[in-house]
């Protein structure tokens, strides 16, 4: 049919010519910018012509003229390469896309010295706003320097006017304790991490560890249950060693439930329990934190855990960035998002509470 498929890109002017109108009319019709100044039928004809010709607006030209690129920059310290970062990124790109924006991604690979250059690059690209995401939850001493609107993701500062979204770890830890206490456990242990396991600089460390620990201990105090805290670290082997320490003792002195600072540590605890011949959850309840992909859901048994609000962080961060870019006043500039409890199969009432000793 279309014998002479046109090689050349079809421009607004081509549509205008084909429809017998001016470029102005085309622009108006396509952008719905008609302040009632373009007749419905003309508009319809223009739209049809554009469709027929396969017209696609030239985004770059549009950006040059309108001084907005409909794009957002995402600078990450290493999020793109962390197992959680993906969830933030996916939700962020999703939300951006729904709003006609696209995400420009720059990964610092933990080289903080590249930060300034990355931000300048994004400024040059005329992004409408910036997201700055960190791998672990951090409290920054200073936000990235730029004239652009910035939203901090998975990190925040002390300044109340700075835009940020981050997980409410304390809320999550409290839910973990309540879950265990509600089940009837009274002798608990927490497999905890260290302060600042990642960075050399004070503001680089992941602060989730102490927050989770302190909130858990505080909540335990409120509920009147005992907690033994063992600080070994976040990883599988750390959890294994910590669990071995509290579990390898006579039944009566052993905690009936463990709260692990991360799902990885919880997997270590699972390993230790298996090694010690303790059945989970019958002999020992274990609850993790993070709802880590491909891990929490498919351990044996599946892990009860506290889910980090990654998707929501990405989503809200973009919403905030867009609002700020549009010059709107943003409410709740610092958003601590709740962490949901996911009850799976690694937690149950303690033996003494059920009164029955199965198997």
Partner DNA sequence: CTGTTAGCGCTTTCAA
Partner DNA sequence: TTGAAAGCGCTAACAG
Binding footprint of a copy of itself on the chain (CB under 8 A): 56-61, 63-64, 69, 71, 78-83, 85-87, 89-90, 93-94, 97, 102-107, 109, 118, 120-121, 123-126, 235-238, 240, 264, 267-268, 270-271, 274-275, 292-295, 298-300, 302
The interface partner of residue 235, options being a copy of itself, DNA, none and the CB cut-off 5 to 8 Å by kind, is a copy of itself
The interface partner of residue 7, options being DNA, a copy of itself, none and the CB cut-off 5 to 8 Å by kind, is none
Residue 338 CB neighbours (<10 A): 14
Distance CA 74, CA 148 (A): 12
Exposure of 126 in the CB half-sphere (CA atoms within 13 A)? 11
Rounded to the nearest whole angstrom, what is the least distance from the CB of residue 227 to a copy of itself in the complex? Answer: 24
Distance CA 105, CA 90 (A): 12
Rounded to the nearest whole angstrom, what is the least distance from the CB of residue 230 to a copy of itself in the complex? Answer: 16
Q: How far apart are the first and last CA of the chain?
A: 76
The interface partner of residue 87, options being DNA, a copy of itself, none and the CB cut-off 5 to 8 Å by kind, is a copy of itself
3-state per-residue secondary structure call for 294-325? CCHHHCCCCCEEEECCHHHHHHHHHHHHHHHH
Q: Which residue has the tokens 């390993």?
A: 271
Rounded to the nearest whole angstrom, what is the least distance from the CB of residue 315 to DNA in the complex? Answer: 27
Q: Which pair of tokens denotes residue 5?
A: 């498929």
Tell which residue, 213, 207, 208, has the closest CA to residue 191: 213
Taking the least distance from each CB to DNA, the nearer of 14 and 283 is 14
Distance CA 25, CA 19 (A): 10
The interface partner of residue 24, options being a copy of itself, DNA, none and the CB cut-off 5 to 8 Å by kind, is DNA
Q: For residue 65, what is the enclosing H or E element? A: helix 59-66
The interface partner of residue 13, options being DNA, a copy of itself, none and the CB cut-off 5 to 8 Å by kind, is DNA
The interface partner of residue 12, options being DNA, a copy of itself, none and the CB cut-off 5 to 8 Å by kind, is DNA
Taking the least distance from each CB to a copy of itself, the nearer of 90 and 342 is 90
Sign for the CA dihedral angle at 167, 169, 174, 177 comes to positive
Q: What residues line the site for DNA (CB under 7 A)? A: 9, 11-13, 20-28, 30-31, 33, 36-39, 42, 55, 57-58, 61-62, 64-67
Rounded to the nearest whole angstrom, what is the least distance from the CB of residue 67 to DNA in the complex? Answer: 7
């Amino acid at each position: 049919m279309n014998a002479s498929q046109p090689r050349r890109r079809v421009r607004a002017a081509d549509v205008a010519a084909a429809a017998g109108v001016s470029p102005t009319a085309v622009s108006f019709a396509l952008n719905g910018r008609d302040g009632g100044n373009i007749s419905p039928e003309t508009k319809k004809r223009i739209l049809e012509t554009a469709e027929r010709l396969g017209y696609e607006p030239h985004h770059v030209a549009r950006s040059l003229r309108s001084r907005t690129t409909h794009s957002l920059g995402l600078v990450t310290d290493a999020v793109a390469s962390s197992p959680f970062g993906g969830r933030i990124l996916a939700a962020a790109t999703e939300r951006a896309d729904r709003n006609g924006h696209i995400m420009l991604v720059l990964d610092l690979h933990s080289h903080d010295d590249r930060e300034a250059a990355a931000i300048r690059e994004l400024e040059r690209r005329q992004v409408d706003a910036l997201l700055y995401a960190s791998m672990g939850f951090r409290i920054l001493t200073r936000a990235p320097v730029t004239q652009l609107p910035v939203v901090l993701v998975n990190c925040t500062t002390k300044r109340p006017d700075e835009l940020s979204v981050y997980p409410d770890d304390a809320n999550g830890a409290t839910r973990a304790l309540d879950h265990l206490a509600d089940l009837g456990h009274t002798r608990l242990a927490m497999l905890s991490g260290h302060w600042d396991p990642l960075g050399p600089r004070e503001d680089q460390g992941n602060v989730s560890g102490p927050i989770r620990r302190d909130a858990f201990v505080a909540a335990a105090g409120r509920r009147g249950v005992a907690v033994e805290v063992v600080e070994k670290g976040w990883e599988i082997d750390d959890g294994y060693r910590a669990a071995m320490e509290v579990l390898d003792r006579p039944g009566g002195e052993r905690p009936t439930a463990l709260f692990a600072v991360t799902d990885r540590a919880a997997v270590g605890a699972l390993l230790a329990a298996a090694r010690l011949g303790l059945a989970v959850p019958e002999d020992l309840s274990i609850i993790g934190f993070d709802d880590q992909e491909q891990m929490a859901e498919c351990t044996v048994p599946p892990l009860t855990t506290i889910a980090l609000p990654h998707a929501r962080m990405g989503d809200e961060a973009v919403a905030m960035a867009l609002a700020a870019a549009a010059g709107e006043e943003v409410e709740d500039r610092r958003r601590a998002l709740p962490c949901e409890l996911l009850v799976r199969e690694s937690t149950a009432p303690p033996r003494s509470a059920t009164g029955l000793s199965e198997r």
